[in-house]
């Protein structure tokens, strides 16, 4: 038996609250996490789109990157050795989406990077957080201090009523715009707040000391507009928003260009930019910016009502024996009352409106390439 099969699941600081609220718990990234509450996935999804949903994402990794020189600009330039994004250009009080790349241009993880004035604050994926910390230490320890914030919880408040709910506990949040980030006092607790999320809705992510997390979440859930939301609805919301799930839609074998993430690589890091390249896999990634990639992540809308799930093989027509791609995320979109999916296709077949076929239980089902997001986002710009 493998060691990880016998390892006890970790618990977030909100574990007792989940059980008290009737959550169904499942293993996820080594943690015992709520997949749904008594309302069920469909109602939780639709409630988040209409009002506000509260998510426990404390399994994610939280890190501080601080230059030994004391200058945040030095920490930013150091991190640029590992990611293709313009980190030096993140203004104080702002954050940016980024990716760690490998020497083949593939993605080791994706992450959020915020400039807190004298240091950078990073949020990384749960399944990768140990490797990400080791990666940072291996490459940046000479010039930077890397601190894991293991004593903090992380919650997300998402939906059109997220601002009004959070503003009752922190008036400052009403002035924040999408991707603003920094320290805020929420319900008399010192927190880090960013106006961002993983649902396509307006909302916030709140880093809170672990011993204060339950009090903060309880205060938010006292608002009738706010419901606790599990991993099931989190996944259907992010899929409708066309957002990648690391390890599924992007991984070590996909480049930012193949993953349709070109928007995340600023011009200053591309060929001709003042800090072009200098990150792992730069030659391959920048060549793909110039010449294109052979395949591309696309949105897919199946005909009919049957969802097409992750792993389904894709074909150019109903009879071809040659697989041309595969579905990487798929399910039912409650907001659309229809199935949606994402996957990889040859770039020549990636135009919106192209029909391809998925093999599902021995049958070929037609899908159309569709623009993402499937549901328009509502970020407060």
Q: Chunked in runs of 10, what are the mean pLDDT values of the chain (381 residues)?
A: 65 98 97 98 98 98 98 98 98 98 98 98 97 98 98 98 98 98 98 98 98 98 98 98 98 98 98 98 98 98 95 96 98 98 98 97 96 97 93
**pTM, 2 dp:** 0.96
- Give the model's pLDDT for residue 3: 43
- Half-sphere exposure (CA, 13 Å, Cβ side) for 107? 27
Q: What is the pLDDT of residue 7?
A: 80
What is the residue extent of each domain of the chain?
1-293, 294-375
Place of tokens 């609220």: 21
Answer yes or no: CATH 3.30.1360.120 is held by domain 1-293: yes
Residue pair 335/381 in contact (Cβ under 8 Å)? The answer is no
Tell how strand 107-115 and strand 120-124 pair up: antiparallel
Q: How far does Cα 123 stand from its chain's mean position? A: 10
Please give the pLDDT value at position 172.
95
226-228, strands of its sheet edge to edge:
181-186, 189-194, 203-209, 152-158, 52-56, 226-228
CATH 2.40.30.110 fits 294-375, yes or no: yes
Question: In which element (H, E) is residue 138 found?
Answer: helix 129-140
């Amino acid at each position: 038996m493998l060691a990880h099969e016998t390892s006890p699941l970790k618990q977030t600081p909100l574990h007792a609250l989940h059980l008290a609220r009737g959550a169904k718990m499942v293993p996820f990234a080594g943690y015992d996490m709520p997949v749904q509450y008594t309302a069920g996935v469909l109602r939780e999804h639709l409630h988040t789109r209409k009002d506000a949903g509260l998510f426990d994402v404390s399994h994610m990794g939280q890190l501080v990157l601080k230059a030994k020189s004391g200058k945040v600009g030095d920490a930013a330039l150091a991190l640029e050795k590992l990611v293709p994004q313009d980190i030096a250009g993140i203004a104080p009080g702002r954050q940016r989406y980024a990716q760690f790349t490998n020497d083949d241009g593939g993605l080791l993880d994706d992450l959020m990077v915020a400039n807190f004035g004298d240091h950078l604050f990073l949020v990384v994926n749960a399944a990768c957080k140990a490797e990400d910390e080791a990666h940072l230490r291996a490459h940046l320890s000479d010039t930077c201090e890397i601190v894991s914030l293991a004593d903090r919880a992380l919650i997300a408040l998402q939906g059109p009523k997220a601002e009004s709910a959070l503003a009752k506990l922190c008036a400052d949040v009403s002035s924040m715009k999408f991707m603003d980030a920094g320290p805020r006092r929420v319900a008399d607790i010192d927190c880090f707040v960013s106006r961002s999320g993983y649902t396509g809705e307006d909302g916030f992510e709140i880093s809170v000391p672990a011993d204060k997390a339950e009090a903060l979440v309880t205060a938010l859930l006292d608002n009738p507009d706010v419901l606790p939301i599990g991993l099931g609805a989190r996944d259907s919301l992010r899929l409708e928003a066309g957002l990648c799930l690391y390890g599924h839609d992007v991984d070590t074998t996909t480049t930012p260009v193949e993953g349709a993430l070109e928007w995340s690589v600023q011009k200053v890091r591309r060929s001709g930019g003042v800090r072009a390249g200098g990150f792992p896999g730069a030659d391959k990634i920048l060549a793909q910016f110039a010449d294109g990639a052979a395949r591309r992540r696309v949105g897919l809308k199946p005909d009919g009502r049957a969802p097409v799930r992750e792993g389904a093989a894709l074909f150019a027509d109903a009879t071809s024996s040659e697989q041309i791609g595969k579905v990487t995320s798929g399910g039912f979109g409650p907001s659309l009352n229809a199935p949606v999916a994402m996957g990889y296709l040859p770039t020549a077949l990636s135009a919106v409106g192209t029909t391809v076929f998925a093999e599902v239980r021995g049958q070929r089902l037609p899908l159309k390439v569709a623009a993402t997001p499937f549901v328009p986002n509502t970020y407060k710009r």
